[in-house]
Structure 1
Amino acid sequence: MATVNPYLNFPGTTEDAFNFYKSVFGGEFITIQRFRDTPEADRVPPHLLDKIMHVAMPIGKGNILMATDALEEMGHKVTSGTNFFLSISADSKPEADKLFNALSNGGSISVPLADMFWGAYFGILTDKFGIQWMVNYDYNQN
């Protein structure tokens, strides 16, 4: 069965926020990837290359807090109150398709499900109630 975790968007302050959360919850980051480390780094303005493309940190029992710097210079706008997604980690590609298609019924798709450079099948949608979802199936899971 799929797991659901919060995915936060920050306007360039992800690293500060996650260092704060680390001080509160303890533990270590399990993933931290900067924009400079992506295949699209040549499209990122030089002063933003060290911003966070993706960070993940376990909190509590089986929960993972994740985030990105959603930067205006890259076409994003962070609005307090809607600056989060619920991220579903599916157990299979068919489960990802099923969940994505069901959740997007009556809503809107902003990133269709597709294979991504980080080794996952991934898509983003907003359901008919205005909730933002990320659906991800990691090909590298056990």
Structure 2
Amino acid sequence: MYQLTPYLFFSGRCEEALDFYTKCFGGVVLTKQRFKDAPVQIEGAEPNWVMHAEIEAFGLKLMLSDGVVARELSGNNVALSLVFDDLDEQARVYDKLLEGGHIMRPLEDAFWGGRFGKVEDQFGVRWILHCDLVK
């Protein structure tokens, strides 16, 4: 089983957007991590930018980031995030989305305790796939 979660990118304005959406939707911030708090330096990242944040409102989760990948340009600031509970299913979907597309980030274990990967499919839609490794 997996679920679709909108992931929005703001290129330096994520903090502002996080505050705005939280107020708009009456939501709560579930998590907020800055690039400077990552255990390894991420090339091209502004240290105080938001690496990853999540808010929840009305039973919906919304993910936000300032993003650093050169392909994440203005005008293409949305990615669809799939959160899995099965590693095999995550790998199967990742491989299928990759057909005719390209890897933005390989599917691999991440420092925060999940398996993570990113694909741009053949239609230019960006997909983020995450599965918790610890249950």
Under a length normalisation based on structure 1, what TM-score does the superposition of the two structures give? 0.86
- Return 5+ residue gaps in structure 2 as ranges: none
- Return 5+ residue gaps in structure 1 as ranges: none
Partner of 2:61: 64
Contact persistence 2:35–2:42 (CA under 8 A): no
Q: How does 1:72-111 map to 2 (within 5 A)?
A: 76=70, 78-111=72-105
Q: Please give the secondary structure, in 2, of the residue aligned with 1:49.
A: coil
Q: Flag the 1:102–1:43 CA change in 2: closer, same or farther, 3 A.
A: closer
Contact persistence 1:11–1:70 (CA under 8 A): yes
Percent of aligned pairs with the same amino acid: 36
Instruction: Point out the structure with the larger helix share.
Output: 1
Instruction: Point out the structure with the larger strand share.
Output: 2
| Counterpart residue identity of residue 49, structure 2 | K
Q: Flag the 1:77–1:99 CA change in 2: closer, same or farther, 3 A.
A: closer
Which whole-Å deviations, capped at 9, do the CAs of 1:20-73 have from their partners, x for residues lacking one? 00110012110101112111248677xx32211110001322x211111124xx
Partner of 1:38: 38
Under a length normalisation based on structure 2, what TM-score does the superposition of the two structures give? 0.90
Q: Flag the 1:18–1:42 CA change in 2: closer, same or farther, 3 A.
A: closer
Which whole-Å deviations, capped at 9, do the CAs of 1:57-103 have from their partners, x for residues lacking one? 01322x211111124xxx53643331110000011110110110111
| Counterpart residue identity of residue 97, structure 1 | A
1:119 is displaced (CA, Å) by: 0.6
1:125 is displaced (CA, Å) by: 0.4
